Structures are given as C-alpha cells and as structure tokens.
Structure 1
Amino acid sequence: MKRIYRIGDEPMKERKGKGLFVFCCLAPAAILFILFMIVPTIEIFRISLYKWGGYTDNKTFVGLSNFKSLLQNQKFYQAFQNQILLIVLVTIITFAFALVFAYILSREKIKGQGFFRVIFYIPNILSIVVISAIFSAIYKPNTGLLNSIIGIFKHSDDQILWLGDQKVVIYSIVIAMVWQAIGYYMVMYMASMANVSESLYESASLEGAGKIYQFFTITIPLIWTNIRTTLTFFVISTINMSFLLVTAMTSGGPDGASSVFLSYMYQEAYTNSSYGYGMAIGVSVFLFSFALAGLLNVATKRQEVEI
C-alpha cells in the first residue's frame, strides 16, 4: 500500500541528505573561522601570561604580571587616551556630516547629484598608504597646502607642525580619518533614506514642519536601525583604522602623542621584543572592543519605527 506523506513530512533519507548538504556548505567556513580566528585568539590569551621575546623558545610563565605592568605604564594610558579621543571625535564628526550630506543629496534637487556621490565616495576606495601620503603632503610645514592657505590670512614665519606638534598631531589624524570615512557612510544612509515614503515628508510640510524638524523626526527615526548597526561597526573599525594611519603618518610620534592601542602593541611586541607584554595589550584591546560594542548596543537600543 502506497504511503501518503502529510505536508511538512519528509522521508528520513531526504532529511539526512539535506543535513549532509548543509554540513558540507558550512564546514569549510567553520573550519577556516576556527583556524584563523578562534585558535589565534585563544593563543593570544595564553601568550599574554608569559614573558617572551617572540624570537626564542625561552618562555617564562608570569601569570598576570604583564597586565600589572600594563596598568602601571604611563605610555599605555597615553595610548588609551588618544584612542578614546579618536573614537569620540571621529565618530561624531563622521556620522554628523554623513547624515547631513546624505539628507541633502536625497531630499534636495541639486544638479550633478551623481557626481557628488562619486566624489564623496572616492576616499573610501583609496588605500591607507595613499591617504597617508596625501595628508602628509598637505601637512608639510613649509610647502604643505594647509600652511600655505593659512599663510594667506596670517602673515607669520612660524609654521604649524601638524604632525610634529604634540598638541596638534592627534587632531590632524582625526581630519584624515573623517575624510576617509564620510563618503562610505553617506552612501549607506542615502540608500536607507530612499526607502522612506515621500508622503511622510509631504504630510509634514503641509503641517508646517521645516526641513530640520523633518530630518530629526522622520528621517532619523526611520533609518535608526541602519545608524545603530553602522555605528557599532564604525567604532570598532576605528581602532584598526587609527593604527594604520598612525603607523603610516607618524609612527606614534612625536614622543607618543599620536600613539594608539595597536601602535603601542606593535611597538612593544615587535620593536621592543616584549611579545608577551604586547599580547597582554592585545587582550586588553579585545576586551575593550567587546565591552564597547555591548555598551553601544545597549545605549542605542530603542523601539523600531516602521514605515
């Protein structure tokens, strides 16, 4: 007698075949993730408990001594302070400009909108080396573009050392990071704003709401999910981006004034041959990033607004 299967019923062989197919698809990615992400992360935690130069087999277990030394090191606190300053300033400035530019290009009838989109996006496709070279040339004391422009309005023989002054260098890095990131997030927000119904803006206009009021009460709430996701991603990626720009432009100088988490870690692990101590810095960066991501998710959580 022929068996009749109900909807949702599947023969055992068919279910096993689907399970095997899913396993074969996921296994390569899972293996690579474990080998190149999980195992190295565990190894970093393990090595941080040793005193090791990195180039010999002589390892001495020191427990939490590397972390104690870290908390007593003034250079670590300087790198931490610089990193926090970069995260706060770059995030606020980048997202403010990206949202405003995206709103203007999405809502206002401006000639050559496609041209402006391309121009704003170009910095994102440039390599860090190219961006560093561009801004290093702009910041040159005698022949740089920035000092030349300032010299038109301020007649003085004293040139500003944008990458050589301890009080100014970190803000020079901020400008470069903002310039690099604005275009990418502007394009992302323009895509989100394109899904906002035009009728909402028309209704708000009929009720007398201005452009600024519409921006904060209609646009921002309706694209908040995208803002929240990109905010977490951007803040964490800033840690890596700041290391690349600092390494290429200043190498952490002058006198550690532009040193950040990862540049300090690199210096200790590979230049000073304190690999165990450097991995302790890496563990601190990992825990800081994890805690920061969690804090941002909690702080930006709000009820979703549906269109």
Structure 2
Amino acid sequence: MEKRKGRKKRRGAFIFCCVAPATILMFLFMIMPTFNVFKMSLYKWGGFSAEKTFVGIENFKKLAADEKFLRSMQNSILIIVVVTVITMALAIVFAAVLSRQKLKGQGFFRVVFYIPNILSIVVISAIFSAIYDQRDGLLNTFIYLFRPVGENGEGLIAWLGNQKLVIWAIVIALIWQAIGYYMVMYMASMASVPESIYESASIEGAGGITQFFTMTLPLIWSNIRTTLTFFIISTINLSFMLVKAMTGGGPDGASDVFLNYMYSQAYTNSSYGYGMAIGVVVFIFSFALSGIVNAVTKRETLEF
C-alpha cells in the first residue's frame, strides 16, 4: 500500500513538472495579456503617459459611431466569408483530384501548391504588390494586350489604389497563400479512406462526382470542421499582416481590417485604450464566430 502511494506521489510530481512550465507560460503570455486588454479597454490612455482615466464603456460607445471601424469590420467579414468559402472549396476539389485521379506529376503539383504556404507574408505581399503595380505590374501588362493604354498610363488599373478593388486584390492574395496547405491536409484525410469503399461504390454504379459528395465529403467531415475553425481565426491574423505589408490600410482606409485599425489606433494615434476596446470586440467576435461555425457544421461522425 505504501509503495502504491509512493508511486502515485512520484507520478503526480512528474506530471506536475511536465505541466507546470506550459501552464505558467500560458498564464503569463496569454491569460494575463488577455485580461489586461479587457481592463485597458475601460480606460482612456495614450499608452505612454502615467495618467489613466477610467471611462467605463465610453470606448465601446465611440466604436459604435466610428465609421472607419465599421468599415474595417465590413472588410474583415467580407474577407472571412469570401476567402474561407473559396479556399475551402478549391482545396477540397484539388485534393480530391490529386488523390482520386491518376495524373502524371502528382508530386510536382503537390509541391507547387504548397510553396505559397512556406513563404513569409512579407514575401507574398511583395509578390502581389509587383503583380498589382499600376505601370509595370504583370496584371496590367496582360490587360495591355487587350485594351489600349495612353502614353501616360491612362487606362491602366490602380489595383491597390482603387477603393473598390483593393480589398478584392487582398482576397486573391490570401486565397493563393492558403489553398496548398489545406489541400495537403485534405489529401491526407482522403488517403485514409479505404479503396475498397470506392470499389464497392463503383460496382454499384456510383460515378466520381456521386462518390465525392456522398462518400468522400462525409468521411472527412470532422477534419473539414476542425480546419474551418482554424482557418477563420488565421484569416483574421493573416489579413492584418498582409494589409499592413501591402497597403497599410489605404487608400483612405478602404483596405483596413479589424486588427490593422486596432494597431493604428493603439500605437499610431496614441489611443491605447480605444485600441484595446477594438481588441475586445475582435476577441468576442472570433469566439462567437467559432461557436457558430461549430454549431452549424455539427453532424454525426461517419466511420469506416
């Protein structure tokens, strides 16, 4: 009995030593900063002075009437919806094609699709800034082949300088960056599905498209749910970094997103408390959206 107690104590001490460092780091670098964000959102503070004025929910009332914040919110929602839908759809389709179809050079296509994911966001922004360049960019050079352009560049499109087009230019860059990573994840899930299931379906007369919608998608649905939640959260972060590197929120705030507007308010306009109020909204929005996605996509798990 005493030996068992001694073993339990040693086992408990070992588990504590393993868990304690991670717990302490999580508390110091995640829980405490998050709590501080909520706390500072209730103050009016420039971020550098020693004086802090408690204003309660005034920062949040100000947000509700802030047109620039509302525009950044609209841009963020647009990016989340469009990028998520298109990226997930293309990633699943490409994964199915490369997994189920016998194509030459499958390994090559996998590498080519995955390359954008290993590039830093700064490199990606530089690539697309060059593509979208008004005078010498690849996109306008291609358009030049089909429409006349004046000597001074009349007729060329300012992709990153047009308030209506700039957000779509960012959407395309985000989609290009993410497709390969999720395609590889879905290919791994599809590879785990036994070939005998597809052979039985083929004998029953089910075609490739029928098999895709009635077998492949349901069998990898749990993986799709998980990646969907992660992708939505990562899109919020990546959109900030890409906007910061490509446009800085311009022109005239047309490409501002949640986090970019928060950064500009907290660290550029010396409105730290107001910026933290935006951070609280982003935090709540992210968790609420994740909960909604999990609830909407919940279904019975199929096994094989």
TM-score between the two structures when normalised by the length of structure 1: 0.96
- Are 2:64 and 1:67 equivalent residues in the alignment? no
| Post-superposition offset of 1:236 | 0.9
| Post-superposition offset of 1:206 | 1.8
List aligned pairs for 1:44-193, cutoff 5 A. 44-157=37-150, 158-193=155-190
What residue number does 1:236 align with?
233
What residue number does 2:249 align with?
252
**Secondary structure, counterpart of 1:233 in structure 2:** helix
- Are 2:215 and 1:218 equivalent residues in the alignment? yes
* Structure 2 Cα separation of the partners of residues 156 and 96 of structure 1: 36
* Structure 2 Cα separation of the partners of residues 61 and 71 of structure 1: 19
**Secondary structure, counterpart of 1:153 in structure 2:** coil
Alpha carbons of 1:303 and 1:280: their partners in 2 closer, same or farther (altered >3 Å)? same
| Post-superposition offset of 1:154 | 2.5
Aligned partner letter, 2:25 = L
**Secondary structure, counterpart of 1:263 in structure 2:** helix
Aligned partner letter, 1:203 = S
What residue number does 1:21 align with?
14
What residue number does 1:269 align with?
266
Where structure 2 has 5 or more consecutive residues not aligned to the other structure, the ranges are none
1:42 to 35, 59, 67: 35
**Secondary structure, counterpart of 2:85 in structure 1:** helix
What residue number does 1:203 align with?
200
Aligned partner letter, 1:151 = Y
Alpha carbons of 1:116 and 1:35: their partners in 2 closer, same or farther (altered >3 Å)? same
* Structure 1 Cα separation of the partners of residues 169 and 84 of structure 2: 15
| Post-superposition offset of 1:153 | 2.2
**Secondary structure, counterpart of 2:70 in structure 1:** helix
* Structure 2 Cα separation of the partners of residues 258 and 210 of structure 1: 44
**Secondary structure, counterpart of 2:193 in structure 1:** coil
* Structure 2 Cα separation of the partners of residues 156 and 292 of structure 1: 45
| Post-superposition offset of 1:156 | 3.7
| Post-superposition offset of 1:218 | 0.7
TM-score between the two structures when normalised by the length of structure 2: 0.97
Judge which range, 205-214 or 102-111, deviates more. Answer: 205-214
* Structure 1 Cα separation of the partners of residues 149 and 129 of structure 2: 22
> CA offsets, 1:19-50, max 9 Å, x none?
00000000000000000000000011111100
Aligned partner letter, 2:174 = M
Aligned partner letter, 2:38 = F
- Are 2:285 and 1:292 equivalent residues in the alignment? no
Aligned partner letter, 1:44 = V
> CA offsets, 1:192-212, max 9 Å, x none?
000111111112222222211
* Structure 1 Cα separation of the partners of residues 145 and 92 of structure 2: 32
* Structure 1 Cα separation of the partners of residues 14 and 207 of structure 2: 56
| Post-superposition offset of 1:155 | 2.8
Aligned partner letter, 2:236 = I
> CA offsets, 1:116-161, max 9 Å, x none?
1111000000001100000000000111001111221233441111
* Structure 2 Cα separation of the partners of residues 30 and 154 of structure 1: 61
Aligned partner letter, 2:231 = F
Q: How many residues align?
A: 300
Aligned partner letter, 2:61 = K
* Structure 1 Cα separation of the partners of residues 204 and 145 of structure 2: 48
| Post-superposition offset of 1:86 | 0.1
Aligned partner letter, 2:197 = L
Aligned partner letter, 1:12 = K
Q: Percent identity?
A: 67
* Structure 2 Cα separation of the partners of residues 254 and 219 of structure 1: 44
Moved over 6 A (4+): none
Aligned partner letter, 1:179 = W
* Alpha-carbon RMSD: 1.1
* Structure 2 Cα separation of the partners of residues 90 and 123 of structure 1: 15
| Post-superposition offset of 1:10 | 6.7
